[in-house]
Amino acid sequence: MATEISSLGEFGLIDRLTKDLPLKNEASVRGVGDDAAVLDYPSTKVLVTTDLLLENVHFDLTYVPLKHLG
C-alpha cells in the first residue's frame, strides 16, 4: 500500500528516507536532518546546508517576484 507524502509531513519523510543511513565520514557530527549537517575538522566545524522551494507549495509567482526568492 502506498503512503501519501502529505500524510508523512516534512519530518516524517526525512525520517523515512534517512533512518537507516549511517554516518560514514569520521568528521560528521550530525548527518541528515532538517536543513544541515555538521562536520567537525581539527581546526573548525563546518555546516553544510541546502534547501528547496517549490512553486505553488512554498511560494506563488502571482504574488512573489523571482527577484525576492532565494
**Residue of 53, 50, 48, 57 lying closest to 68 (CA atoms):** 53
Mean predicted confidence (pLDDT) in 35-44: 85
The reported pLDDT for the residue numbered 58 is 87
**Residue of 67, 34, 64 lying closest to 52 (CA atoms):** 34
CA angle 34, 36, 41 (to 5 degrees): 150
The reported pLDDT for the residue numbered 2 is 83
Amino acid at 69: L
| Banded model confidence at residue 34, pLDDT cuts 50, 70, 90 | low
In percent, the amount of the chain with pLDDT more than 90 equals: 11
- pTM over 0.85, yes/no: no
Q: Where are the domains of the chain?
A: 22-68
